[in-house]
Amino acid sequence: MPLVRIDALGCDTQRLQALGRAVQEALGDAMGIPEDDHFQILHGHDGQRGLVHHGTYLGVPRDDGIVYVAITLRGGRSAEQKRALYRRIAELAWEYAGTEPRNMFVVLTENTDADWSLGNGEAQYLE
């Protein structure tokens, strides 16, 4: 059960949806996440009301094409699965949305079964 948030500068609805598709498909390919386990928050920024910073930290030359992907998911994936996820997101974002791999900034945040309620005020993963 990942929850995905995608923030992108100068991004219309079509491109946001393509980025969301890329991330969802990559989660399936790299981590076996089912296709219908699909929870995303997509947000395009106009550069006026919110700031989206980028730079060259760790030698990666990012620009205004930057896309931030924050994925919250239950823990337990290996470092190899995570590396495969990052690679696959970059590949598919390029293919589906024309976003250069250097502009894909991805962060994973892991938690436990007790940290999720999927509705009805219940902790479904603890049931």
Q: Among all chains, which residue has been given the structure tokens 């999720």?
A: 116
- Report CA-CA distances (Å) from 76 to 31, 62, 80, 89, 100: 10, 30, 12, 19, 29
Q: Among all chains, which residue has been given the structure tokens 């930057």?
A: 66
Catalytically active residues are 2
